[in-house]
Structure 1
Amino acid sequence: MDDYRVKLEMFEGPLDLLLHLIHKNEVDIFDIPIAMITDQYLEHLDLMRFLDVDMAGDFLIMASTLIHIKSRMLLPGAGGDDDDEDPRMEITRPLLEYMLFREAAEELSARDMLERDVFSRKVPRYLQEHLRDYDQKLSVSLFELMKAFRRVIESASSQLHLTFEPEPWSIEDKAGYILARIEKAKEIFFHELFSKGTTTEMVITFLAILELVHQGRIRIFQPDQGGDIRIMRQEKGRAA
């Protein structure tokens, strides 16, 4: 799957790189043939003997993001006010954050980490700062949290069925759902939030958890080393 490339007259590269280039304003969103990209990818899936659920989930997020960006840009007045945020940034931020943490997880898993917050010079400075921002608010290391999420995806992959339908959940909606669950149960296990749903929904759930940590609204902790990760509401006035 990693060898799959989207072929365009103006650009050729993986889907994540395409979105990265959109973020950098190096590709005009109005010139991207969304339908052609989708058709090429579905044709590629048909030729595969085994489906890569993780990669398919990535594609669903990327494809839906592109479509939403284009629709927002077509709205009257979009981007006309200098004080308004570019619609492309508003829509792509969750996806870019997910891509950032996926890159971080791959980077950290390939290294023998002797202690937290120790990075090789090969890790970009912006990535170090972003990771430390989250890591300082976690009672569990970001590396352990990413490993827990990876286990959730792997355990669910054999039971998931690929469906190319719009994902009904937004990150904001999922964050509200998580807070409601915690309010009722006081404390929940990390894996309980991923008991069912598509791969796309699981990614949205994980992003919602990270956003709530960033806002200081929940606390994530691991009572015993190697034990189940738990989540509870953050007490006011207490650092995470």
Structure 2
Amino acid sequence: MSSERYEVKLMNIFEGPMDLLVYLIKKNEVDIYDIPIAVITDQYLGYLEWMKAMNVDFAGDFIVMAATLTHIKSKMLLPVHKDQEDEEDPRLEITRPIIEYLQMKSVAEQLAERNLLGEDVFLRRPAKEEFLVNREYDELIKIDLFELVDAFHRILENMPGDHKVDFSSDRISIKDKISEVVDILEKNGSETFDRLFPANADKGEVIITFLAILEMAKLSLIRITQHVQTGIIRVFYL
């Protein structure tokens, strides 16, 4: 057992504040040129507050984005006078960077898909079946990280009491929890996301379990997928 405080850098989990913003826009299915700034700002701030409750340490650029969204939201709340009707929409301050971000991300993804000289020359691409336990998981897709966070958020919401947890007290370490998850996955080959969380665990252990899963994903020890039809999230041990 250890008395250390557990902290996870948000920049090691998310690509950046723009990534979170794009996710919220897609989640709400809104037009990028007609962003409901009040809704998106409130949800963005909600994510940051939720991450604070989990002892997640996020970089300063997330705070800058929060300030920018709040500033735009305040502008949108001000009444528009007739002599201001031709002024630029305040939301363009964030719309333009989002468009540029999506363009750069699209180019980066296209470049990543190109074959590098000498790459995979001596490697055999594993067949899809090698990742799956049986054919019932044929319709699996790679899950979005934010969807995984949402799934974990729902687990916390089903637990009574405050989400904030004191990590300063002695409890199981993330390293020990990773070992437990590995044992489960080695035994079963794969497991649904929610079953990796102990049924009678307190919130501290539930949060540490989630941080362990994130760490394993970052280290490419596991593959996390979601069934297209049922929405069930499943974790595979690689």
Whether TM-score is above 0.5 comes out as no
Q: TM-score range by the shorter chain?
A: 0.3 to 0.5
Q: TM-score, normalised by structure 2?
A: 0.43
Larger Cα Rg: Structure 1 or Structure 2? 2
Question: Greater RCO between the two (CA within 8 Å, min separation 6)?
Answer: 2
TM-score by length of 1: 0.43
